[in-house]
């Protein structure tokens, strides 16, 4: 069944009397994983995914209803928005220090230091084991979640359908992204209008299903598709319908820039790098001082003014061992029960523009980029492994590979280095753009463009932007030793991820 709406042809499958409109969002780390596996470029890996999900030789030619995905978007688009909003959040936090001194604290802002919130493994750890960390977490949704909110809100309104008919698949490097998708905070309950609310309505998730890079291989294999045989070229225009809301099409179609995925930005989206770059652009003549930690996954940064005064201190902590050290540093001082006793440690003081510590207390950071995986998101648990690639290469050559042979640490490091290289090699759509403007002018232009786009989104939906881009966190009680009869979040999301959404 197919119908046309605003010039866009939507192919629908029958599902309880209603058709589904399939959309997908793909992370750049997944493209890098596929590129390394098949020896192709990151751009060609993107074409491979597009052809599988939307092409005539992919899911459009198979599946129960021969349905493909109408739109496949790059999560880099929403990542750009999250980066700009993160810098705004840090800036507001610094300005709030001055307001607090004047007796006007802003309780809506996270506490300093602000800790990134895009890694679901880290969020799960904080909610279950260290609830005192929750006030420090950035309020912003991850690029995956924000992509889901954008697609569900805009498509449901512009096409005149209920959000439940928009079926959103996210292709991610991390299994924990399934847990993120199952969060009750990331449903239409958080953004739908009061007149649309119903006590009987089932909440609609912003992300219906998450699969990883490895599961993408399994999907192709189970449907009988050979990924290397798919065309490594863009889909024909007839299969890429225009976005139904023209005023927002340009907002989700930013040209990709190599400057946004470089060695300096890191492998996890560049949150910290963008914050530092933003503040450096706002303070001409400032210099960034980098202090390496005990290992490559801990790095501290201090932005110094021309007068050699600290402007901002921030850090990167990857891997749970390092995260545990960070959490210990931020743990509130214990108060003795003895009468008149003082806290066992000194009270933390926020960093000011006139003083900065080069130590590692963690309390004087303005922002910390926290990721659960050592090496960052390119090393996510759902990425294609050395042994997977070995098996794929062997089968393509008619050989039987012994997958029981565990790769050596050297092989694993070499493989991850190749994935990182593919990630950083993201091709620019317009190289000249990097040379036309200075860094400060380009950054200001990009920020203005993103703020304008976010404003158009909020205005189109008639929903405050805060309800669209922010989320909340909660303390989670441990269920160890308790009755497990009711399905927990993990069980539900595994069931969700294993289902075939409407026949694709």
Domain boundaries, given as residue ranges, for the chain: 2-78+142-257+381-425+470-498, 81-141+260-333+344-376
10: β partners: 3
Coil, strand or helix: which one is 310?
Answer: strand
Pair 204, 164: CB distance under 8 Å: yes
**Angle CA(274)–CA(276)–CA(279) in degrees, nearest 5?**
105
Q: Looking up tokens 């980098």, which residue turns up? A: 290
Pair 311, 355: CB distance under 8 Å: no
Q: For residue 168, report the phi and psi dihedrals to the nearest 5 degrees.
A: -105, 120
CATH code for the domain defined by 81-141+260-333+344-376? 3.40.950.10
Coil, strand or helix: which one is 313?
Answer: strand
Q: What region does 462 belong to: left with phi over 0, alpha with psi -120 to 50, or beta?
A: left
Residues with Cβ within 8 Å of 205's Cβ and at least 6 positions away in sequence, in order, are 148, 168, 181, 182, 186, 187
pLDDT in tens, the chain (504 residues): 344 444 444 544 434 435 899 999 999 999 999 999 999 999 999 999 999 999 999 998 765 566 789 999 999 989 999 999 999 999 999 988 665 555 555 668 999 999 999 999 999 999 999 999 999 999 999 999 999 999 999 999 999 999 999 999 999 999 999 999 999 999 999 998 765 555 557 899 999 999 999 999 999 998 889 999 999 999 988 888 889 999 998 777 654 444 467 777 889 989 999 999 999 999 999 999 999 988 999 999 999 999 999 999 999 999 999 999 999 999 987 766 667 666 555 444 444 333 334 445 567 899 999 999 999 999 999 999 999 998 887 666 555 555 567 889 999 999 999 999 999 987 654 444 444 344 555 888 889 999 999 999 999 999 999 999 999 999 988 665 666 555 554 454 344 444 444 445
Pair 200, 158: CB distance under 8 Å: no
What is the Cα–Cα distance from 227 to 345, expressed in whole angstroms? 57
What token pair was written down for 486? 């009711």
What is the Cα–Cα distance from 424 to 204, expressed in whole angstroms? 35
Residues with Cβ within 8 Å of 339's Cβ and at least 6 positions away in sequence, in order, are none
Q: Is-above-0.95 flag for pTM?
A: no
Query: What is the Cα 1 distance to its own chain's centre?
Result: 34
Pair 156, 162: CB distance under 8 Å: yes
Q: Looking up tokens 């950083």, which residue turns up? A: 424
CA distances 285 to 41, 281, 303, 385, 446, Å, are 37, 9, 10, 44, 21
């Amino acid at each position: 069944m197919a119908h046309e709406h605003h010039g866009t042809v939507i192919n629908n499958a029958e599902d309880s009397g209603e058709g589904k409109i399939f959309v997908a969002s793909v992370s750049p780390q997944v493209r890098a994983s596929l590129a390394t596996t098949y020896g192709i470029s990151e751009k060609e890996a993107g074409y491979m995914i597009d052809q599988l999900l939307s092409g005539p030789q992919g899911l459009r030619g198979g599946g129960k209803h021969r349905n493909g995905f109408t739109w496949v978007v790059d999560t880099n688009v929403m990542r750009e928005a999250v980066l700009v909003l993160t810098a705004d959040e840090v800036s507001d936090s610094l300005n709030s220090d001055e307001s607090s001194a004047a007796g006007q604290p802003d309780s809506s802002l996270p506490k300093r230091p602000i800790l990134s919130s895009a890694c679901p493994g880290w969020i799960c750890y904080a909610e279950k084991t260290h609830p005192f960390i929750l006030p420090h977490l950035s309020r912003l949704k991850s690029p995956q979640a924000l992509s889901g909110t954008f697609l569900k809100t805009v498509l449901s309104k512009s096409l005149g359908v209920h959000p439940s008919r928009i079926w959103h698949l996210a292709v991610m490097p991390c299994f924990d992204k399934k847990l993120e998708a199952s969060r009750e905070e990331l449903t239409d309950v958080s953004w739908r209008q009061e007149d649309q609310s119903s006590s009987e309505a089932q909440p609609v998730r912003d992300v219906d299903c998450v699969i990883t890079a490895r599961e993408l291989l399994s999907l192709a294999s189970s449907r009988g598709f050979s990924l290397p045989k798919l065309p490594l070229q863009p889909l024909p225009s007839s299969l890429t319908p225009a976005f139904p809301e023209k005023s927002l099409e340009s907002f989700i179609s930013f040209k990709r820039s190599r400057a946004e995925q470089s060695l300096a930005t890191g492998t996890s989206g560049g949150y910290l790098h963008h914050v530092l770059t933003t503040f450096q652009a706002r303070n001409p003549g400032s210099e960034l001082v980098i202090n390496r930690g005990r290992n490559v996954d801990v790095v501290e940064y201090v932005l110094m003014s021309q007068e050699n005064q600290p402007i901002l201190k921030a850090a990167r902590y990857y891997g749970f061992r390092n995260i545990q050290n960070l959490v210990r540093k931020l743990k509130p001082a214990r108060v003795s029960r003895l009468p008149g006793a003082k806290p066992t440690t000194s009270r933390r003081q926020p960093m000011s523009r006139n003083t900065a510590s080069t130590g590692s207390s963690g309390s004087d950071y303005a922002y910390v980029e926290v990721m659960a995986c050592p090496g960052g998101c390119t090393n996510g648990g759902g990425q294609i492994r050395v042994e997977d690639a070995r098996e794929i290469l062997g089968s393509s050559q008619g050989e039987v590979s012994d997958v029981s042979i565990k790769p050596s640490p050297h092989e694993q490091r070499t493989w991850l280095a190749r994935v990182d290289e593919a990630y950083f090699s993201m091709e620019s759509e317009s190289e000249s753009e990097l040379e036309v403007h200075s860094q400060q002018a380009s950054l200001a232009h990009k920020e203005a463009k993103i703020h304008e786009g976010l404003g158009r989104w909020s205005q189109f939906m008639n929903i405050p932007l805060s309800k669209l881009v922010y989320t909340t966190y909660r303390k989670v009680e441990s269920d160890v030793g308790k009755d497990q009869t009711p399905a927990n979040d993990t069980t539900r999301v595994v069931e969700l991820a294993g289902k075939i959404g409407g026949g694709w």
